[in-house]
Amino acid sequence: MSKGFLEIENLSQRFPQPDSNDLLTVFEGVDVTIDKGEFVCLIGHSGCGKSTILNVLAGLATPTDGNVIMDNKEIKGPSLDQGVIFQNHSLLPWLTARDNVMFAVRARWPNWSKAKRREHAERYLHMVGLDDAMDRKPSQLSGGMRQRVGIARAFAIEPKLLLMDEPFGALDALTRGVIQEELLKIWSETHQTVFMITHDVDEAILLADRVLLMTNGPHAQVAESVKIDIPRPRTRATLHQEEAYYPIRNHLVDFLVEGAKVMSAKAQEAAARGDNPRHTPRIVNPARPEAEPEHSSQPGPRMVRAV
């Protein structure tokens, strides 16, 4: 097995329940590999543990089992190698937009002069189109602008891995579209490795190289890895004219409406039987179904017997 840039190995999360001695298994046996420079989106229903996986990658949560290796080093805690953009912007409200970014830049490169930090911060704020709002505090910015500052802050520290937890979930549809394109632009300039959680299928298709699909919890699994076989650069305006767009979209929506439930039931049966839950996601390319390595009418995650 070739080592990727980011290796998620046999990751499981179980929580104690208030009125039972049994642990609640949120997800288990997750094996995922992400390459350097890849943009990966994770989609799943609420409560399947998406955010927990992201927090583990960020080092903010500790998994019950398994580990995550990034660039041949195990992730043990939060660090500047992992940049995080949360849904609620999490900017420091007493600092201006520029100072918020400079705050992060200073943490990353403590030895830089103030002028250099400032120039670096302004470059990234410029990339997200906030030239005129640098001196404003978060309370004086719109929701979309705040999220842009968050994006600038995360990109400015040039992390090895950028994590985004539904970054546009709180924005209206118009603003969201604009910022998605800005994110694409800044990503195409920097080629960060990005891991992003979203609820929005179109957002995932627009942004991602690959979409990971999660079944419902408990005993959730990352069932499929769907390749988004649409050439870049992509734009929102022309995305739906792509030949591959509808097959991909239908596949994702079908999974979320039906597949997630069916597979979740199967995973729970398997868990009740005591099968080894460790699995790698099935690789799917809806744009070219004949190219699929394992074509099966019944979708289901591949079980890995031996560890």
Partner 1 sequence: MLSNLNFRATVLSLVMLVVFLGVWQLATAPDVLAPQQGELSEYERLMGGGTDRTSSSGIPAPTQVFSHAFSELSNPFYDAGPNDKGIGIQLAYSIYRVLLGFALAALIAIPLGFVIGMSPLLNKAFDPYIQILKPISPLAWMPLALFVIRDSNMSAIFVIFICSIWPMLVNTAYGVASVRNDWLNVAKTHQLSNLRTAFTVILPAAAPTILTGMRISIGIAWLVIVAAEMLVGGTGIGYYIWNEWNNLDLASVIFAIIMIGIVGFLLDASLAQATKFVRYAD
- Residue 220 in contact with partner 1, rule: CB under 8 A: no
Rounded CA gap, 207 and 288, in Å? 19
For tokens 């200073």, name the residue: 106
Pick the closer one to partner 1 by CB: 90 or 276: 90
Longest dimension (CA), the chain: 62
- Residue 88 in contact with partner 1, rule: CB under 8 A: yes
Q: What is the 3-state secondary structure (H, E, C) of 159-208?
A: CCEEEEECCCCCCCHHHHHHHHHHHHHHHHHHCCEEEEECCCHHHHHHHC
Among 3, 62, 74, 93, which residue interacts with partner 1 (rule: CB under 8 A)? 93
Pick the closer one to partner 1 by CB: 143 or 177: 143
For tokens 């410029």, name the residue: 126
- Residue 13 in contact with partner 1, rule: CB under 8 A: no
Rounded CA gap, 67 and 275, in Å? 20
Q: Which residues pair with 68 in a beta bridge?
A: 8
- Residue 83 in contact with partner 1, rule: CB under 8 A: yes
Pick the closer one to partner 1 by CB: 102 or 130: 102
Pick the closer one to partner 1 by CB: 39 or 86: 86
For 239, counting Cβ atoms within 10 Å of its Cβ (0-12 exposed, 13-18 middle, 19+ buried), the class is middle
Q: Which amino acid is at 87?
A: Q
Kindly indicate which of the ranges 56-64, 120-128, 212-220, 276-284 contains the residues binding partner 1, using the contact rule CB under 8 A. 56-64
- Residue 10 in contact with partner 1, rule: CB under 8 A: no
Rounded CA gap, 307 and 196, in Å? 28
Kindly indicate which of the ranges 18-26, 103-111, 169-177, 267-275 contains the residues binding partner 1, using the contact rule CB under 8 A. 103-111
Kindly indicate which of the ranges 39-47, 84-92, 215-223, 246-254 contains the residues binding partner 1, using the contact rule CB under 8 A. 84-92
Binding map of partner 1 across residues 142-181, x = CB under 8 A, - = no contact = ---------------x------------------------
- Residue 206 in contact with partner 1, rule: CB under 8 A: no
CB of 156 to partner 1, least distance (A): 11
DSSP one-letter code for 5: S
- Residue 265 in contact with partner 1, rule: CB under 8 A: no
Rounded CA gap, 136 and 96, in Å? 5
Q: 236 and 181 in contact (C-beta within 8 Å)?
A: yes
Pick the closer one to partner 1 by CB: 162 or 213: 162
Nearest-CA neighbor of 95 among 84, 81, 107? Answer: 107
Per rule CB under 8 A, count of chain residues that contact partner 1 = 24
Binding site for partner 1 (CB under 8 A): 58-60, 77-80, 82-84, 86, 88, 90, 92-94, 103-104, 107-108, 137, 139-140, 157
